[in-house]
Structure 1
Amino acid sequence: MSYGYLSGIFNGRKLPSPDTAQAIARALTTDVAAQRKAYEYAERAAADRPANRTPGRGDRAVLVQEESLPLEDYLADVCRHAEVSRPYVAQSVVSWQDGRPADRSTARSASAAVFTAGPLVVLLGDPGGGKTELLRRYELDVCRRWEAGVRSGALPVRIPAPSFSNEHLAQRLFAHPPAPGAHWLVLLDSLDEITNARARRNVLRDAVRWAAERPETHRLVIATRHLSEQEQGDLEEAAPVCFELLRFEAGDVRKLAAARLGPDRVDGLMAAIDEAGLADLVELPMIGALVCQLYKDDPDRPLGNTRGAVYDDFITRLMTPTPSTGTRPEHHAGTRGDIGEPAWIDPAVAERVVALSTMSPADLRTLLTQVAHRRRESSPARSVTDILLHEPLTELPGGVPVKWWREQLVACLRRSGVLQQRGDDLEFAHRTYEEFLAACAVCDVREHGVAELRRVLGAHRRRHWPLRPVPGYHPGGGWGRRLWSTAVADGENMSYLGFLIDRLTDAAAADLDKLPSSAGISGCTFLAAQKRLGTYLPASVQARAVEKLKRHIKIGKQARFGASIDIRAVNEMDPGSMPMAETFAALAIDDSRVDSADALLAFAESRAEGLAALRELAHSPRLTSLQGRVAAATAMVRADDESGLDLIVDLASHPGQDDDDRLGIVWQLIRLHRPRGLALLDSWIDARTGGDLWFKAALMVVETDEAYGIARMKAIADDLACPARTRINAAYVTALCRDPRGAEDLLRFARDPDVEERLRVMTVHLLAELGHPSARTVCDELAQEPNLSSRGRKSLRRLPLAQSS
């Protein structure tokens, strides 16, 4: 909850201008030496950014395969290859702050928020959450407008992360802005499909560094599943704006069904969804689309009741259409004409090509299942085509050129629907397809599947060694315990684990049964995360997890006794008894109750009780810390209880809180509900609340709404009732945001004899750092004043000439 103010970072997000971090350092001090040190520190920090560059993989068909591809060809290529027939339902996003998402009630249109938010944006989402489709649709819509002649703003270029390399970024397409006054918007898609953790981090760092070196002409949007702790650390200095792509609402599922099936079949589908217990799961866009297709193909067949069952049915049907034996692979591949066989081809090789092109659905699935398993076993992950070249059924025949044989593999296996062509290679169309098939492969032999389940499940258990107790324990207990973590651990992920559980329900029950009884509540919150993903959980395991979570949110007599202690009153009666009273009071506070209540929301039978517990904890200052109360209020809003917003306003408005805490809370409020957050900041500015707090609030307004914030800064610079130091700082922030009025005010302050000498000297230094052409003139004027102190003259002589020229 700390608010990184002096560093110029608001909870992980930098101010609009690259120089604003320096502005804030100056806005809180009048000491020139301290300002100089802050300025030098900021420049060193910028210079120390990581410079690792590691080549990525392959190339992409749509993006620039030849360096000379002109803009017009690129636009035509995007519009030509776009899948326009697929119905699409727009989604919404919420902002992330301090590792937590805001709630659905403050959602904004994804296309309006994500692609205009800042120079670096990270779009997070669940597996199959619609990230790729959002990027594809936005790319298509903008490219159509550009092709029609409306060329302004940002032109998107989508690059799949598995195919990313520095060669992409060095192409001539990116050498100049796409149009006068416009810039490039690079959409780095499917970062999570790079299964090797080191390769994924290298791609992430390379892309972020490349965009950071071109802030005026290039912006970057990264789409991925939730990032690991290491990847979050890689992004920390770049301070991205993070969004989470929300799932469908109930009405969205009906819209999708109407578009895919027709309005007259929507009720039938919704009834089938209810019968299978998929109401929560179909809110995931990809599952919703799969269920629509399954129902369209066979409305009388019952739908599977887990994510794994839905994928099983869908992939089986996806591979069913097979071309007749008489057709050539070129015909059904859809990418080449009938070019005829090369004269040199051996008849046996030609027969192998025909056999691959007419492979039965069962054999095709067996082959791709093995490929998915091989990819998961390899480190770093090998491409699909490279694995096929070494499989008995698809290995390279003797005497055949590799390039030609790869072309045949691509042509024959694209028909599976599970694979797609990317450049000269094949890749899985979705990572979830690969995860599901890999789980199928390892579970074909039950003993192997059970061993893999236990290995992956064990990989999500981490030892906890911070200087704080484990969540779910009272202070003094749980040091060094093992926790169940939902974070990606060494290349494993929750989605793959969920598919393993779905394939091994009986065996999984025995292993999952241990989680509710494990120390602390992390096992129960881990199960809640799997439940949100749509994984099957045995009824007994789920009931035990819910029971333990409910038990944990209960507040015992000892905790209530500690919460009842008035430390101030005890101190007045007997100062010597304070340590014991503080100990009892500390034992009452346990923020893990908030985690338990939040986890209860994942289970339908306990949502009401979880929300009630969140309300109680959010209003309990002696049972929950400030951070815990904010987390509880945020979870309330996420569960569609907007009274949480009122509580956050109350917490931010409490005068007993530290300024940084109050600003951190109001920043969270802004991410949840922008108008209410700005209104609260405005009230602080108007009331001149508490010391520097109101001016810090004005700086936060600049970060939130630059145009409105600068207008407020101008008013502060003109306000004679404000201290001169504050007015100078306001003018400086205005100047940093490239408003000429700010520099004019700084010149006026530097020449005003009624302003304190120390502040006039400081203002001259600020003008010099801005590179203002009049900085040297004002410096000379001030140095010639007879009443200037020797200290002031010495400070002016240290003025860097390079900055004042």
Structure 2
Amino acid sequence: MDVGQDPRHIPAPDNTGTETEKRFAFQAQVAVRYAIEMLGGYPIDNVTCEHIEDVVVARTLGTHHGGDTTLWDFQQVKSREPNEPWTLLRIGDSKALHSLLRTDRVLRQANSEGSVLTYRLTVAIEGKLAAREPSFRDVARSDGKRESSIRARLGSKLKDLDADPEELSDFLSRIYIVELPLRGELERDNRDALGGLAEHLTIAEVWQFHQTLSDLVRSAMVERLGPRWQLFVTRPDPAEVILRKRLTRQTLAAIAVRLLPPELLDFLQASQSADYQHPYGLMETSCPTRLSDVRVPQRISIVASSETLPETCLGQDALCMLTAGPGGGKTSLLRAIQARSAAQWLAGVETQPLALTVNATALTPLRPLGAALASAANESLSRLGLGRTLGEGFFRTAPRPGTRWLVLVDGIDEITDPELRREVLQWIVQCTDRQPAVHSFVVAGRPISDAERKLLGTVPEYRLDQFSTDDLRSAVQGWFRQLGIPRPDTSADAFIAALSSVGMSKLARTPLMTSLLCQVYSMNPDGVIPDSRNALYSSFVDLLHERMHSRGPSGFRTQSEYLTQRFGPTVSKHVESLMSGLLDLIGQMAAEDESRPVDPLIYIRPARPEYLPDHSVEAWITLISRSPAGERPPAITRKMWTDFIVSALTRCGLLVREGDRLEFAHKTMQEYCAARWAMRTPQAYEQELDRTLHRWIHNGGSNPWGAPLETVSYISFLIEADQSPLHDIAHRKLYDNVTRESLHCCLLVAMINRFGSLEPESWQPLIEKAIHSTRAVVELEEEDPTTRVWAAEILAELDEDPGLAALESLAKEPTLDREFNEDPHTPDFSVRLQAALALMQFDTRRGADALMQLVLDDEDLDQLVRVRAAEILFENSDEHAGAALSMLAKESSWYYSRFEVITLYSKIDRHAAAECLNDLIEEWCDLIPEECQDYAHLLAQWGDPRQLHLVEDSRNEDDI
């Protein structure tokens, strides 16, 4: 075919005149029919146009044996004059059976050689089968006179292929007949079906898209394929010649997009740019144009396991939880998922949920979910090109039939009132229970309390891991390229070595810290790297201040001077005073958010969640206007002064504008500003420390993980005071409250230490006291067993070797599970199992060894716990998993859960598992006959015939 040839003018490959061209057009419309079904969401993966009379349709049947099963439907398409009905013998005369028999032989041979192909043989006829004409199946199986005669005559028509009677009967029994409309009717039906997919299309657009589909099919039908083409078609990685003859969702993407409702298309086009702007809102001169330019994919771990998964695991469940520390990359990941899902939909792949990122603070039980999602989408996507205002109804139903919305709830920890946070979590659970299921949720944020996590029920919990060494190197290299640093690869290695020398290598392993460190480093001519988190944020804020006040043409100082110079030196001096104190005013707003008391009347106006801090532009202007420097000079109009303040706030680099609000670019930036404001006097500092530490000191609960974990990052900023009087106040406050009776405060010290805030030697007495206190709890046998495990976890955070040794010892201590053994229920409540899992979080090898010891303990440990320990080993692909499952599968003293163990074991060693399953049936068939019949069915599926008599007994009972 010439490259520029119009497909509608391509002649039939074996053109013999007008009739051939008519048949060619008809067969093209058959392929068009399936292409339209694909556009309509039917489970059709692709349509291959092999030649003038062949169409191969690949249908997805559903998930079996760990993957989707594809049914390959090989169709011979036959047309004839409308006034002549079809008979089986006329179908035989058309040579359709010749082609299908050759296909059948090729595919059967492939299956005998190890392929696993599910296929169907179809004759698609134009018009109807003659009245009272039997089916091919009846002809193959019946010994009636008429059927036998037809079978014999069909055999004679296939004699050149040497089909023996047995092969012929088997072949004919598997042939289906599909009756199709007549030529003109099929084309009309196709246009009607295409128009039915999109009511917003005009008649002219429907005709245009139908013609486009027809042209695609005609172009695909041109080339012939060689021998055994059937196998080439079914390969997962077909050759280019096959791809040229195949219609897929990607091939039809341009048409599929135009068929979408206008609101959905607008949403997708805006949403695919959700990762355009870096989420930390850095100034334009230092920020790359796209998040993807510097983002490094992170690993996700299953909580209570060391199993890691790719980012794509999110969204596969109706509800799951994702946690990470401050700046851990949650927002970046959620925005990337939203952009990726929109891009996939625009490319014609609509099998994945369609994602939307929503801040948790936008959700409230008193506001319909659709309204909350619409408001969030309109606000976040309007700056990305959203042309329509999306209504509540848009998010109330699925984006397309058979699909769902994936609601990415960001910052659940930013709902500061614990009671409200619990209500939002409960409301999300209620939303997932609605039928039909239209929404699934990923709830992301910093770690929350155990009690709050339990509100979500038994759902997958994931943790976003920190950068590995290779990840960190890739992230630094990406930033250095964007920042124009020479030789970014070698410079990155030197930079990482410098991070280690100043004790910042651990802290640098999050996306936010990496970005800040790289930018501060790039602007520092001496190449000095800050040695603490507070120092880093201080340097970064200084960098923003310098850029804002640069005298270049884009600097804000130049613009402010141009604005005020005509009003004289008094106004200029007043503006200079405001700009100098702007950071303090921002810190005052941040501090008010941190210390804001909970309002008991929060639900008075549900249209705006009143528990949110008021970050409206009006609130910012009011705050600044209360300060002497913020008072409007009489010479400047109110509007001019207001515009100047808003411009200054949006250009400072700490805030980003979202609709009518100015929000902090990142939660940690708000925490830094609030801590900086609190340090203005020793009295203010001590008062803020008392307020912040109150919930840690006076919580009263025995579970340290019920503490206000969301405040740790802010507290770490507070105690990094570089002024001696403030440092002394912080040390005294913490030291006095770190005791054996207060694991909460010991935990606080351990978590603050993660941020590197306790690196100076002056903090060593506090760390040693926390170590001594937690060790005393671990060694106190009279203490509650769970509390001892918690204390050992905290000890491992503070002093790894003694802490890991304590966890190992607790996992072996038989008395620890006495209470559980008296009332065995969910195995995860086993204290010894909790100790082994905690150990695994710190040291995978030692944790796996501890789990294996639990499996071996058949005297002191409940069977359910042993099974759960083996399952965890299997989930983590540990080398002990096979031995653990084999041991449990062979124990004859029990049957409860033993079948599940054997099933799991079969994924490691099918033959050995079959032996265990046969033993289980032999031992228990008299006591649990119905269950053993089910076990026998599975054994037979594994190819083991030893219990077939039970399978037959089950079938006989069903017949009765």
TM-score, normalised relative to structure 1: 0.64
Task: Indicate conservation of the 8 Å contact 1:589/1:624, yes or no.
Answer: no
Matched, 1:383 2:614: yes
Q: 8 Å contact 1:319–1:364 — kept in the other structure? A: no
| 8 Å CA contact 2:408, 2:441 repeated in 1 | yes
Q: Give matches, 1:690-769, under 5 Å.
A: 690-695=894-899, 697=901, 723=925, 728=930
What CA distance in whole angstroms lies between the structure 2 residues aligned with 1:200 and 1:328?
42
What is residue 231 of structure 1 aligned with on the other side? Answer: 452
Residue in 2 aligned with 1:248? 467
Superposed counterparts of 1:120-131, under 5 Å: 120-131=319-330
- In the alignment, is the contact (CA less than 8 A) between 1:588 and 1:623 conserved in 2? no
- 1:503-652 equivalent positions in 2, closer than 5 A: 503=721, 504-517=726-739, 519=741, 523-536=745-758, 539-543=761-765, 545-546=767-768, 549=771, 553=775, 594-603=789-798, 606-621=799-814, 627-652=830-855
CA distance in 1, matches of 2:436, 2:558: 45
Q: Is the 8 A contact 2:446 2:710 kept in 1?
A: no
Counterpart Cα distance in 2 of 1:70 and 1:354? 51
Which sits farther off after the overlay, 634-643 or 432-441? 634-643
- Choose the corresponding residue for 2:858, options 655, 667, 682: 655
Deviation of 1:221 (Å) = 0.5
- Separation in 1, partners of 2:650, 2:422: 29
Equivalent in 108, 131, 151 of residue 309 of structure 2: 108
Give distance in 2, aligned partners of 1:184 and 1:548.
46
* Conservation of the 8 A alpha-carbon contact between 1:684 and 1:697: yes
- Deviation of residue 441 (structure 1)? 1.5
Aligned equivalent of 2:476: 257
Q: Distance in 2 between matches of 1:352 and 1:726?
A: 92
1:280 to 491, 506, 509: 506
- Tell me how far apart the structure 2 counterparts of residues 641 and 126 of structure 1 sit (CA, whole Å): 21
- Aligned pair partner of 2:434 in 201, 213, 229: 213
> Displacement, 1:516?
4.2
Contact persistence 1:420–1:427 (CA under 8 A)? yes
Provide, for residues 401-441 of structure 1, a one-character-per-residue CA deviation record: whole Å limited to 9, x for no partner.
Answer: 99999987655522222212223322112111112211111
Classify 1:730/1:257 alpha carbon distance in 2 versus 1 (closer, same or farther; 3 Å). Answer: farther
Deviations 1:608-661 (A, max 9, x none): 443344444444546897945434433333223413213202313432322333
Distance 1:183 1:548, change over 3 A: closer
2:683 is the counterpart of 1:447: yes
Kindly indicate whether the alpha-carbon contact (under 8 Å) linking 1:670 and 1:677 is maintained by their aligned counterparts in 2: yes
Q: Following superposition of structure 1 onto structure 2, how do residues 84-95 of structure 1 map, counting pairs within 5 Å?
A: 84-85=290-291, 86-95=293-302
**Deviations 1:318-361 (Å, cap 9, x if unpaired)?**
3432278998999999xxxxxxx9xxxxx99xx999998x9976
User: How many angstroms does 1:372 deviate by?
Assistant: 0.8
The one-letter amino acid of 1:113's match is: C
Task: Please give the secondary structure, in 2, of the residue aligned with 1:283.
Answer: coil
1:133-532 counterparts in 2 under 5 A? 133-164=332-363, 166=369, 167-169=371-373, 171-214=392-435, 216-236=437-457, 239-261=458-480, 262-298=488-524, 300=526, 302-322=528-548, 362-378=580-596, 379=598, 380-385=611-616, 386-393=618-625, 412-462=648-698, 464=700, 485=704, 487-489=706-708, 493-503=711-721, 504-517=726-739, 519=741, 523-532=745-754
SS at match of 1:264: helix
Change (3 A) 1:270 1:594: same
Q: Is the 8 A contact 1:550 1:597 kept in 2?
A: no
Structure 1 unaligned residues grouped into runs of 5+ = 1-16, 18-67, 334-340, 342-346, 471-482, 560-585, 740-744, 754-759, 761-777, 782-805
Per the TM alignment, residue 131 of structure 1 is displaced from its structure 2 partner at its CA by 0.9
Distance 1:150 1:406, change over 3 A: farther
**1:747–1:214 distance in 2 versus 1, CA, 3 Å:** farther
Q: 1:662 to 1:623 in 2, by over 3 A?
A: closer
Following superposition, the deviation at residue 77 of structure 1 comes to 0.8
Structure 2 contact 921–932 (Cα < 8 Å) conserved? no
Shift of 1:138: 1.9
Amino acid at match of 2:504: L
Does 211-220 or 283-292 show the bigger shift? 211-220
Helix, strand or coil: the match of 1:177? coil
Quote the Cα distance in structure 2 between the aligned partners of 1:545 and 1:155.
47
Asked whether 1:74 is paired with 2:278, we answer: no
Instruction: Report the residue type matching 1:196 in the other structure.
Output: D
Helix, strand or coil at the partner of 1:302? coil
Contact 1:390 1:396 survives alignment (8 Å): no
Higher relative contact order, chain-length normalized (CA < 8 Å, sep 6+): 1
Shift of 1:694: 0.9
* Aligned alpha-carbon RMSD (Å): 5.0
**Deviation (angstroms), 1:539:** 2.8
3-state SS of the aligned residue for 1:320?
helix
User: Do 1:688 and 1:694's aligned partners in 2 also have CA atoms closer than 8 Å?
Assistant: no
Question: In structure 2, what is the equivalent of residue 132 of structure 1?
Answer: 331
Q: Secondary structure at the match of 1:390?
A: helix
% same residue: 24
For residue 309 of structure 2, what is the amino acid of its counterpart? R
Change over 3 Å in CA distance of 1:666–1:650 after alignment to 2? same
SS of residue paired to 1:91:
coil
Aligned partner of 1:694: which letter? Answer: R
* Structure 1: distance between partners of 2:886 and 2:393: 47
Secondary structure in structure 1 of the residue aligned to 2:526: coil
Q: Distance between the aligned counterparts of 1:361 and 1:265, measured in 2?
A: 36
CA contact (8 A) 1:152 1:179 kept: no
> Which entry has the higher C-alpha Rg, 1 or 2?
2
Q: Summarize the Cα distance change of 1:157–1:746 in structure 2 as closer, same or farther, 3 Å threshold.
A: farther
Does the 8 A contact of 1:552 with 1:596 survive in 2?
A: yes
Q: CA deviation at 1:450?
A: 1.0
